[in-house]
Every structure is written in structure tokens, then in C-alpha cells.
Amino acid sequence: MAAAEQPSLRTLRVHLEERSYPIRIGFDTLHQAGPAIADATKANRAAVITVPGVGRRYGAPLERGLRRAGLRVERLVVPDGDRSKNLRQAARLYDALLDFGADRGTAVVALGGGVVGDLAGFVAATYLRGVPFVQVPTTLLAMADASVGGKVGVNLPQGKNLVGAFYQPKLVWIDLATLRTLPARERAAGLAEMIKHAAIWDAELFATFEAQLEAVAGLEPEPLAAGLEKSCAIKAEVVSRDERESGLRMLLNFGHTLGHAIETLSGYRRFLHGEAVAIGMAFAAVRSEALGFASPGVAPRLRELLERAGLPTAPPDFPRRAYLEALRVDKKKRDRHIRFVVLRELGRAEVVPLLPAEILPRRFPAVARRSS
Amino acid sequence: MAAAEQPSLRTLRVHLEERSYPIRIGFDTLHQAGPAIADATKANRAAVITVPGVGRRYGAPLERGLRRAGLRVERLVVPDGDRSKNLRQAARLYDALLDFGADRGTAVVALGGGVVGDLAGFVAATYLRGVPFVQVPTTLLAMADASVGGKVGVNLPQGKNLVGAFYQPKLVWIDLATLRTLPARERAAGLAEMIKHAAIWDAELFATFEAQLEAVAGLEPEPLAAGLEKSCAIKAEVVSRDERESGLRMLLNFGHTLGHAIETLSGYRRFLHGEAVAIGMAFAAVRSEALGFASPGVAPRLRELLERAGLPTAPPDFPRRAYLEALRVDKKKRDRHIRFVVLRELGRAEVVPLLPAEILPRRFPAVARRSS
């Protein structure tokens, strides 16, 4: 049983007072998650919420471990894709939990990417006013982004993430080996968020990514685990200082203003979230220079790293007025100004209130495609 | 403008760290709520969620005050009755909020009884992952019970309150004058919760109710405001020591084990919640004596006060095995035992784990109808 004794590579603790929880980062550790989940949740049952492909591939070792730890286990499968993240699927899951006899001693375990985590987390947050929640992310984006912050929720026909909650997991269990089956494009999308965390907060981590990007992207355990841990630690620090998203946490929206607009305008089909954010970051860096917040050189350095990761950096060619319209419906606006995140340098960001017309220069996106 | 300067009778602060909020208890104060809501929420819009009758009667003065305080106001009306407390109505309200352009600077104001408060509170807790929430309860039950504790939620076809959250309001504004139009039966149901708080926690308040019950029930402002304030303070103290319902808060379930069973068995039609709880309390007091937790005399004293308030105390005549079955599906159970709240004396309660068959004596309910 050498495998069972193999320690996890890294443990990071997210500090949120009585809602604090650990993130355990390992390699080939899925079969070891059961006892850790039992210990973190004190549950006697577990509902594993997943999508068909991930469930087939990774459900069995996780569930065997849970059963060995003494839990009754049921797998609840939702259809693939962002379209599952809605109130109807949540209602289906409530019904399935009731059929399973789930009470407050039942853990909800999200096995999969961001969609599964958001949907399962919303159900965990609201079923019986909250049951213990565990995340087992299997995409790099979910590992780097969704595993810290407690944002859970579903979409409405009118827009994404319009209904949700802030709800912390009891444990995040990351098995990096699950990334071996992740398509390269989705892997790059996850790198985008890790690069974002470095760009807004940690010049040293940014330099490390510049030195080791190919090793991280190639899933070499040590550099990947180290980079992911630091990336999660940055998000954890920002979130723990501002759990309910009043101020500092806005920094995490770096690249998201334009990114969301791009996702909206392309109907969430053409770009992965991380890709849209990569374009948004490259653009925000260019604007940071142009508006005098950052020195020249910041934008090209960021763009180069994003491109080495295989990410797009040029905004798609929608009319400027379509972009302006998309910015104006951003749900975070409180008035006509948008709190736009600019870089001061690589490793330091700031929120500034700007009008949509100030964010988007004249002749955008043509000018952005050239200048970036 | 003498009315505008009239101070509220009482202010009680519910202490929950950064989620603390005030309960302001007054008489004929609805028209003064606007500035207080604006101040507590920092909102620039307010969605007033209510039912048709309450909206017609009390919507205008509340909304005028909100508009005078500079807010844009929209009234959202849901159908009367507990059947509105479901995911479909929540989804309708999300749509209406989006149509209203509601963002995180929009307050959700619940104007009405428990159903409106629970539904509006759930929507406030989940729309955009949470917007500021204010309660303006217009039933005595909602004032005494729902205004403290942060429990919000909706029903599923399978049972009540199966989906929800813990979400604190920014302000609870109580205008006791709204009780003048409340049917006597509903007023009594509210008194049941106030009596419950006294019975589990405060011998002195229990004695005060024994001395002044008719004045309180007759809506004399001073005794009513004082009794309500103390009753809310008890719940606030219990809740603030145990916000997420792990231990102490179970005391508030005094009378609810049998009460819920009665509501289930009668299809939520024959009894108001407070009436079912009154029967449950009278019964729990009898069992407290019979099982040796309380001295003889406790049960008759409680029953007498409940009956003076116009509340029923005898369990309806369903078969014992139906009661046993109803107890077993209580969502709070974690094993075969039920955490049953017994009285030690009037003013002191305790949670004890009992099997359903221990809670219900042989030949229940016939024996309970006689012995109580």
C-alpha cells in the first residue's frame, strides 16, 4: 500500500475564521480522498455530483475510498456543459438528494470542472440551508480559480451566475494526475487564471512562470504543484481579506471586464472562459500603459507569457458599440462607471472607476488588435 | 410633522459580528421606514416584495418613504399563502428583479408575513449571490420569529423549507400598528412563539406574560412592544451564540417536533404554524414531567397561558403510527434518535435524544388529550 501512504505534495490552508478549510494538492491521490472527506465533513453519506465523462473516468476510485471510509455513496450525474448550470438542474439534484435520504450529515462532493463545482456548490449551499461541501476539481481552471473563493451559483436565461451564494467547502482535494486527460486548450485556460494571480499580486511568481511555463504546462508534478499552490494562496489571501467581495477582491476581476464582454458577444461558444480572460488581461495591460498607470513594457511581457501558454490575446472583431453595450450590462456596475482593474506593474494591480468609453479607445477593437 | 419625529418605541440590536443589525419596534411608523432602510442598506433602489392584501394596505406609505429617501421603488407581488414559497416564485422574482435593473445596490424589502419574508429573503440571499435585505413584518408571528435568525428559504413538493440559506437582514422594521388588521387567530399564533421564547429561556418574561397577556394580545403599545422586544432578544441571544444551528439553537424547536408532525398530518391546512407549535409545546411539557425532566405543575401552567392566548393545546386525533411516521421524516434527524426539547422548568429547556416511541407514549394521542 505504498500509494496509500504517499503524502500529498502540498497543503494550503484558506483562512476564513470558522469557515477555514484546507486545499490538498497531490498527484495520483484520488483513491486517498475518502478518509480525508469523511474527516473534514463528519458525514455518513456522500453524494458525488459529476458529469458523464469525468464520472466514468474518476468516479470509481473516489467512491471506493469514500465507501471504505464508511460512507454511503451515490453518484448524481448532470449533463455536460455550462447549460447544466441552471435552476432546473438544481431542482433535479434536490430531488435526487431527497431520494438518497440526504440529511445534514450528507456531504456533497463536486467531481469535475467549474460547472460541476458551481452547480453542486449552489445545491450544497441551499439544500436544507446548507450541507457540507467538498470540491474535487478535475480541470486546471477549477483548481486554480473555483477552489478558492466560495462562489457558487447557477445561470439564468438572462445571464451567467445571476443566482448563487458565497459558500465555502470543507475541503478541496486536488489530484493533478486528473489533468493528464484534460485537452491542451482547457489546460491553457487554467494557466490563464494562474498567470492572472501572479500579474495582480506577485512579481516573483510571475518571473517563475516566465522561467518554467513549459514545465508547468507539461504537468511536471513539482513545478505544477508549486505554481498552483502559490496561485491559490494569492487568491486565498485576497479572498480572506474580503470574503464578500466589497473591495480588494475586485482585483481578481483583472481581465474580466473585457473577458465577460467577449463571452457575451460570442454567445459563450467561441472562447473558453480562460481564453476570454487572457484577451481581457492583454487588453487591460495595454490600457494600463496607455492611461498612464503602468510603464511601457508591462503589456508586452504579459502578452508574451500568455501566448507561450497557448492563449489568445487579440480581441475578436465585434463592433465597438456592441462591446460598449456588453460592458454596460455587467452586473457589478453600481452606476455608469465600471470598476476596471489596471496593472501598476507586473505583480501589482489597482481598481479604477472608468466609463465604458474610457475603457474602450476609439476604433476599438481594431486598434487593440494592433497595439497589443 | 409630529408623526415623523415620533421616536420608535424600542430598538434591539442583534449581534452577529459584521452581520449585526437592528430591529426597530414602533407604532404607526411605516411611513418613517424609508430613510432607515436607505441608511441601513446604502441602496439606490428597492424592490418591495409583498402579497396582494398587504401591498394594498401598507405598500403606499412604505414606498412613499423610500421614494422620499431617494430610492427608485418597484413593488413585486406574489400570490397569497404558503404555496407561493417555492422555486418557481423565486425564479419569477429573479426575472422581475432583472427587469427592474436590480444590481447589488438594490435592497429587497419583504413586506408581509413569514411566507413573504422567507421567499423574499431567499431571493435576496441568492440574487447576484446576495443583495441587501430588509424585513418589514406585518404578522405577529413574523415579528416574533422570522425577524431573528436569518432563516430564509422555499418549500419543495416533498416538504417545507427544504431549500434555503442563513441570511441576515440589514434591518428589521416593525410597525405594531399593522397588527390591527391581523385576524385574532393569527395574532394568537404569534403569541405562541413569544410564549415559547419565555418558556425555554426567561422565567421572568413568562411571569410577565401571565400578568399581562390580555394587554399584549389586545395590542396595547407598551406591553406589546416590551414583550416583543424581550422575546426577540431571547431568540437573538440564542441565535448569536449559535448562528448555524449546531446546538443551542435547537432549543428554539421547543414544541416543533410534534408541531411539525401535526402540520404534516393535517396537510398544513387545519392549523396555523403557531397553533401546531402551541399543541406541541403543551405536549412537550407534559412529556417533560412524565419523563422526569420537570416537576409537576410546569405543564398545567404552560397550558393555561396558551389557552388564555386562544391557542389549542390538544393533539388532533390521528393514529399513533401516523405520528411516529411523521416524526421519522423530520429533516433534522441524524440517526434514529430525535433531539427533543424538554422543559426543566418554566424558563429553562434542554435538548435530549429520544426515540420516536419514547416521545410518543402508548395510546398517544388519546392519552395526551386527557393528560394535558
pTM value is 0.90
Closest CA to A169 of A209, A120, A235: A120
Residue A199 buriedness (CB in 10 A; 0-12 / 13-18 / 19+): buried
Cβ–Cβ contact A170 with B under 8 A: no
Contacts of A159 in chain B (CB under 8 A): 98
Find the distance separating the first CA and the last CA of chain A, reported in whole Å.
53
Question: Contact B208/B231 with Cβ under 8 angstroms?
Answer: no
Q: Is A146 or B192 the better-scoring residue by pLDDT?
A: B192
* B337 carries an active-site annotation: no
* Nearest-CB residue to A165 (from B130, B156, B334): B130
Whether B162 contacts chain A with CB within 8 A: yes
- Whether chain A has a CB inside 8 Å of the CB on B163: the answer is yes
Question: Closest chain B residue to A118 measured between Cα atoms?
Answer: B129
If you search the block for the grid coordinates 447557477, which residue do you land on?
A: A154
Of residues A44, A129, A166, nearest to B153 (C-beta): A129
ipTM summary value: 0.89
How would you write A146-186 as a 3-class SS string?
HCCCCEEEEEECCEEEEEEEECCCCEEEEEHHHHHHCCHHH
Nearest-by-Cβ selection for A129 from B105, B130, B166: B166
The overall average pLDDT reported for chain A is 92
Q: Which residues of A touch B95 (CB under 8 A)?
A: 156, 158
Name the pLDDT band for A268 (thresholds 50, 70, 90): confident
Burial tier of A18 (Cβ tally within 10 Å: 0-12, 13-18, 19+): exposed
CB contact under 8 A, A156 and B98: yes
> Has residue A44 got a pLDDT over 50?
yes
From chain A, the residues in CB contact with B129 under 8 A are 151, 153, 161, 163-166, 245
> What pLDDT shows up at residue B371?
56
pLDDT value at residue A5: 44
CB–CB of B104 and A162 under 8 A?
Answer: no
Q: Is A330 on the interface with B (CB under 8 A)?
A: no
What SS3 string covers A36-54?
Answer: HHHHHHCCCEEEEEECHHH
Q: What is the pLDDT of residue A181?
A: 94
User: Is residue B141 within 8 Å of residue B104, measured between CB atoms?
Assistant: no
- Tell if the CB–CB gap between A129 and B334 is shorter than 8 Å: no
Q: CA B139, B140, B146, B148 torsion: positive or negative?
A: positive
Q: Give the integer Cα–Cα distance in Å for B36 and A326.
A: 35
pLDDT category at B367 given cuts 50, 70, 90 is: confident
Return all residues near A83 (Cβ < 8 A) that are at least 6 apart.
none
Residues B158-178: pLDDT tens digits? Answer: 988 999 999 999 999 999 999
Please report where in the chains the cell 497589443 appears, as a residue: A372
Asked if A105 reaches chain B (Cβ–Cβ under 8 Å), the answer is yes
Q: What is the mean pLDDT of residues B132-155?
A: 95
Domains and CATH numbers, chain B: 2-181 (3.40.50.1970), 185-371 (1.20.1090.10)
Q: Chain A, 183-212: which have a CB under 8 Å from a chain B CB? A: none
Count other Cβ atoms within 10 Å, centred on residue A212: 17
Angstrom distance (rounded) from CA A260 to CA A331: 10
Q: Tell which of B16, B126, B160, B168 to mutate to test the A interface (max A CBs under 10 Å).
A: B126
**B104-118 per-position pLDDT tens digit:** 999 999 999 999 999
CB A118 within 8 A of CB A154: yes
pLDDT digits (tens, 9 = 90+) for A293-348: 999 999 999 999 999 999 999 999 999 999 999 988 655 445 688 999 999 999 99
Cis previous bond, A365, omega within 30: yes
Q: Where are the alpha helices (DSSP H) in chain B?
A: 2-5, 33-41, 52-54, 60-68, 87-99, 114-126, 140-141, 184-201, 203-217, 221-241, 256-265, 273-290, 298-308, 320-328, 356-359, 366-371
Cβ distance A94 to B161 less than 8 Å, yes or no, reads no
